[in-house]
Structure 1
Amino acid sequence: MFRRTFWFTTGVAAGVWATTKINRKLKQLTPDSVAATAANKALETGQRLKDRAVEFALDVRDNMARREAELGEALGIGADAGPALPAPRQYAAIENRATPLYAEKQVQRTYPYNSYNRNEDH
C-alpha cells in the first residue's frame, strides 16, 4: 500500500511539474511575449553599439591629438609664434542717437521722397 501511495504521489508531482513547464513555455511563445523579448534584445544591442561607438570616437580623438602633436613637433609648428594678435574690433549693432554725428545725418524729408518700404501705399 505504501508503495502505491509513493508512486501515485510521485506521478502527480511529475504531472504538475510538467504541466507548469509546458504552460510557461507556451506563454513565452505567444506573439506579444516574442515581440517584447525581441524589443528588449534590440534595445540592449542598440545600447551596446552606442557605448562602443562612444569609446571608438574617444579613441579616435585621443589618437588624433597625439598624432597632431607628433606632426607639430616634427614640423616645428608647436613653438610659440610670438605675441598674440589683438582682439577683433567690435562694432555697435545699433547707432547711438545721442551722438552729434547722428544729429548731422538727419535730413529733413519733404514729400515726395523715395520710400523703400514696399508695404507703404504709393
Structure 2
Amino acid sequence: MFRRTFWFTTGVAAGVWATTKVNRKLKQLTPESLAATAANKAIDAGHRLKDRAVGFALDVRDNMAQREAELGEALGIHEDPELPTLRRYAAIENRNKPKTYVIDSTTYSYNRNEDH
C-alpha cells in the first residue's frame, strides 16, 4: 500500500512539474514575450555600445591633449589652456522684424506682407 501511494505521489509531482515547465516555455514563446525579450536585448546592446563609444571618445580627447602638449613643448609654444569664448552669430535674420531703409533722411519700412 505504501509503495502504491509513493509512486502515485511521485507521478503526480512529475506531472505537475512537467506541466509547469511546458506552460512557462509556451509563455516565453508568445509573440509579446519574444518582442519584449528582443527589445530588452537591443536596449542592453545600445547601452554597452554607448558606454564603449563614450570611453573611446574620452580616450581620444585625453591622447589628443597629451599630444598637443608634447608638440607645444617641442615647438616652444606655451599657450593658456583656457579656450577663448565662442562668438555666436545669427545664421538667419529675424524675418518677423520689418526691414527699414533710410533714403534722403526719411526712414521707410519694408514688410513684404503689406499691400498684397
TM-score under structure 2 normalisation?
A: 0.70
AA aligned to 1:70 is: E
Cα shift at 1:37 = 0.5
Q: Residues 113, 78 of structure 1: CA spacing in aligned structure 2 closer, same or farther, 3 A cutoff?
A: closer
Q: Describe the superposition over 1:5-31 as per-residue Cα deviations: whole angstroms up to 9, x where unpaired.
A: 101110110000000000000000000
Gaps of 5+ in 2: 81-103
Q: Counterparts in 2 of 1:5-24, with a 5 A limit?
A: 5-24=5-24
2:64 aligned counterpart, secondary structure: helix
Q: Residues 113, 66 of structure 1: CA spacing in aligned structure 2 closer, same or farther, 3 A cutoff?
A: closer
Provide the C-alpha distance between the structure 2 equivalents of 1:32 and 1:51, rounded to a whole number of angstroms. Answer: 29
Task: Name the count of aligned residue pairs.
Answer: 90
Q: Residues 65, 8 of structure 1: CA spacing in aligned structure 2 closer, same or farther, 3 A cutoff?
A: same
Provide the C-alpha distance between the structure 2 equivalents of 1:118 and 1:48, rounded to a whole number of angstroms. Answer: 56
1:78 aligned counterpart, secondary structure: coil
Q: Counterparts in 2 of 1:1-122, with a 5 A limit?
A: 1-78=1-78, 114-119=106-111
Provide the C-alpha distance between the structure 2 equivalents of 1:118 and 1:24, rounded to a whole number of angstroms. Answer: 74
More strand by share: 2
Cα shift at 1:116 = 2.8
Runs of 4+ in structure 1 off by over 4 angstroms are 112-115
User: Greater RCO between the two (CA within 8 Å, min separation 6)?
Assistant: 2
Q: Residues 46, 79 of structure 1: CA spacing in aligned structure 2 closer, same or farther, 3 A cutoff?
A: closer
Percent identity, please: 81
Greater Rg by CA? 1
